[in-house]
Structure 1
Amino acid sequence: MASRFASWDSYFWETGGSVLRNLYGERDGAALAQREYSETTKQQVKIELGLTPIPRTYDAEHMRAIHRQLFGNVYEWAGEYRMVGIRKNLSEFAQPGDVPRYLSDAGRIVRGAQWSTMNRDQFAATAAEVFAYVNQAHPFREGNGRMGKLFMQQVSELSSYRIDYNPAVSGVTPEIWNQVSMLSGPDRGRYEPQSASLVPVFRAMTVERPPAPQASAPGASTALWRDRSPYRASFPRPATAATKPGTSAGPTNRATQTPGRRPDVGRD
């Protein structure tokens, strides 16, 4: 695995290409995006309904398990850390060697927080801090947004709140989400993410957790399905923004656009 995906071009069918290697053998970008979205949505539902148990360890292995379940039928490298630098718009994500540290810090914050006693403001601030580290890690070549949002939903289970990504509920549009996520990266030359921009967004998405329906009650699974928003863990949707190869040797989210860099079909 390490030798197979050790360079930017190795993730594509051909050097200079734009379609990621995939287990379908699909070489059309639009068709791959559709098949990927369909598959990951199906797997997301299975996770949310408890049909595919994910051990709640709240660490890097927890996130890898989510990613592996979501993308295991799409990409050979599902659940494996990327071995290349990546950036998106003005955001330069962690260098591959720094990914484990960011995920370790995210897990440390989760396990050290008193989630059960938090009020809404405390929950939003702590959730924003956790997500800032997960987002800066961007540990996988593709699918970091979907993994991160589902991970945060599972973190919220430790509290009396849940996170509703539906903009009709929170007012947080994909554009707002992408902007504050970009602003949460560390300043140039620094390690620590800046979660302040994420706090009001997480507060807007924080809602009281309703009592869980009885698993044995007639229609319980159907009720959970109806309650599931398409934005819960796939917001923004696939094929909305390209990722590009990273350039810096250290963390920064203020990278400038470099002419001539080619986009791929990377989605979050």
Structure 2
Amino acid sequence: MDGFLDETTGVLKNKLGVVSAKELALHEADFSVPRMAQLLGGAKELAATFDAAYFRAIHQHIFQDVYQWAGQTRAAGAFQGEKRTFAHANENELQPRVMRYAPYTQIEQRLDAIGEQLQRENVLRGHSSKDTFAARVAYYFDQFNHTHGFREGNGRTLQIAFTQLGKEAGYAVDFSKVDPHELNKARDLAILRPAGPDHPTQNLAALTQLFKQISEPLPGPAAIAAREPQQARPVLEPSPILSMMEKLRVMQASSYEVGVGLRDIDKGDATRGTQLVRQVNDVIFQPYRVAELGNQIRAAAREVGTHPVLSQDAELVKDTQRLAATVIVVQHVVARETFVEKAGKLAESLTSHWPKEAESLRQVAAAVEHNAPLGVENGKPVNVALGLALQSTELRNVGQELHHATKTLVELQQHPSIAQQLAVRAPGKDAGGLER
């Protein structure tokens, strides 16, 4: 679906009544360039929040003369979309790959999450070295670009935002210094991740080098103060939302390669490969569906990865491993969230007659929410609560829901990768279970 497109003309809906894509592009440039100049020159000031509202405000200002949907994200027109890259992931590729962006249903959430992480990093202040500044700018540019908030005009919106980000950090970021083709190529390579998701520095190398070329320290007391090392904040572990975004991004990329593997196994029949991609996309749009589809996706990855012929392709095997590994993590996250929800629901129902048992259950749920494993000791209050629920006709259904959620969570915790993750994050005990 493309709610931004005029079905009769095949051209983006616009205020100008233009019915030719070529003519519309010319008008768009004529109107957007002076609007961008207003933002860059300070005639129109925006608070540097770098959240969804901030990006919508930039887009609205740039394109207000051309599009009635200026400032609206892709969600407004239920537009997912995809497009060919300006780059090859490796020298053996005959055709550029297709870039796929974040689900349109998650744009606002993702922009807010990335912006929040950027604020926690003090909007990149404290980088006295242009090298470290460029590396962090490249990371955030890629995150915002992959989110791809708008139907049209993402590049211009990002240029305004990152020019302002540079000023906040004491640097002049001047996109006029770079050939647009080189910018597109570096941007697209970051999306493609040719070195795989485990090598972010390599994947962002071209984009980092580009920002080194177009960034220079600004003069003046304020800029110098912004670059002072005491302004720096440590690069923190990604928030849960950003962590989930990354897992879904890896799933999306690897599923297409594994889908091709299924097609090869089935001698050119793409039915199962297409089904796998559709299942992964369902999970990407609605992560809770991993509870229903996760085991099927992992089975497909295992089949391709252990195939006598296909297993000779080292890169394909890596894709199968990535797909399976990210699915199990997402399954665990969803199972944990489901347990917390069901435990909270039962605790609320128990409060009036069994307040002590209800509070114990809440404490366990709080510990699990912070990634504590559900084990023998902190599982006791759960069993007590379940016993009470099963004795009551009114509480039996919610008790059965928690029983199922508990069983699923405990089973997933036994998977080696999840067990290792929990062991690393949870070195000691407290009243609610294991500490984070």
Q: TM-score, normalised by structure 1?
A: 0.69
Tell me by how many angstroms 1:106 deviates.
Answer: 2.3
Alignment check: 8 A CA contact 2:148 2:154 kept: yes
Q: What is the CA–CA distance in structure 1 between the aligned matches of 2:256 and 2:36, rounded to whole Å? A: 32
The answer to whether 1:92 aligns with 2:84 is no
Check conservation: 2:99, 2:192, Cα contact below 8 A: no
Residue 24 of structure 2 corresponds to which residue in structure 1? 32
Matched, 1:116 2:125: yes
**Cα distance per residue 1:204-255 (max 9 Å; x no partner):** 111122449xxxxxxxxxxxxxxxxxxxxxxxxxxxxxxxxxxx9x643997
Match of 2:215, as an amino acid? T
Deviation at 1:52, TM superposition (A): 1.6
What SS does the corresponding residue of 1:54 show, helix, strand or coil? coil
Give the counterpart of 2:215 among 192, 206, 216.
206
Match of 2:322 in 1: none
1:98 Cα deviation from its structure 2 partner: 2.9
Alignment map for 1:42-61 (pairs within 5 Å): 42-61=34-53
- Specify the alignment match of 2:155 in structure 1: 145
Tell me the alpha carbon deviations over residues 16-62 of structure 1, each in whole angstroms, 9 at most, x when there is no partner.
x4311101111122221111111111111111222122222221111
1:143 deviation in Å? Answer: 0.3
1:78-89 pair list within 5 angstroms: 78-82=70-74, 83-89=78-84
Measured in 1, the distance between the counterparts of 2:156 and 2:254 equals 20
Determine the structure 1 residue equivalent to 2:5. Answer: 12
Distance 2:255 2:22 in 1: 30
The farther-off stretch of 125-134 and 177-186 is 177-186
Highest relative contact order (Cα 8 Å, sep 6+), 1 or 2? 1
Q: Which residue of 1 aligns with 2:139?
A: 129
Residues 1:156 and 2:166 aligned together: yes
1:186 Cα deviation after fit: 6.2
Check conservation: 1:60, 1:100, Cα contact below 8 A: yes
CA distance in 2, matches of 1:76, 1:253: 37
Secondary structure of 1:150 counterpart: helix
5+ long unaligned stretches in structure 2: 85-97, 222-248, 258-436
Where does the alignment leave 5 or more consecutive residues of structure 1 unmatched?
1-6, 213-247, 257-268
| Pick aligned residue for 2:180 from 135, 159, 174 | 174
Which contiguous aligned blocks of 4+ residues in structure 1 show a shift greater than 3 angstroms? 186-190, 192-197, 250-256
- For 1:95 and 1:35, locate their aligned partners in 2 and report how far apart those are by CA, in whole Å: 29
Alpha-carbon distance, 1:122 to partner:
1.4
Following the alignment from structure 1 to structure 2, what is the Cα–Cα distance between the partners of residues 14 and 67? 23
8 Å CA contact 1:124–1:200 kept in 2: the answer is yes
Q: Is the 8 A contact 1:185 1:252 kept in 2?
A: no
- Matching residue's letter, 2:82: R
* Contact 1:106/1:131, CA 8 A, preserved across alignment: no
Offset of 1:137 from its aligned partner? 0.7
Partner of 1:252: 253
Paired residues of 2:39 and 2:160 also in contact (CA < 8 A): no
Q: Secondary structure at the match of 2:165?
A: helix
Q: Distance in 2 between matches of 1:101 and 1:160?
A: 28
Larger Rg: 2
* TM-aligned CA deviation for residue 125 of structure 1: 0.9
More helix by share: 2
> Cα deviations across residues 105-161 of structure 1 (Å, max 9, x unaligned)?
321232122433202111101111111111001111000000011101111111121
**Corresponding pairs, count:** 209
Kept in 2: contact 1:186–1:251 (CA 8 A): no
2:65, 2:252 → 1: CA distance? 32
SS in 2 for 1:184: helix
Q: CA RMSD in A?
A: 3.1
Alignment CA distance shift 1:200-1:255 (3 Å): farther
Q: Quote the offset at 1:196 in angstroms.
A: 4.0
Percent identity at matched positions?
27
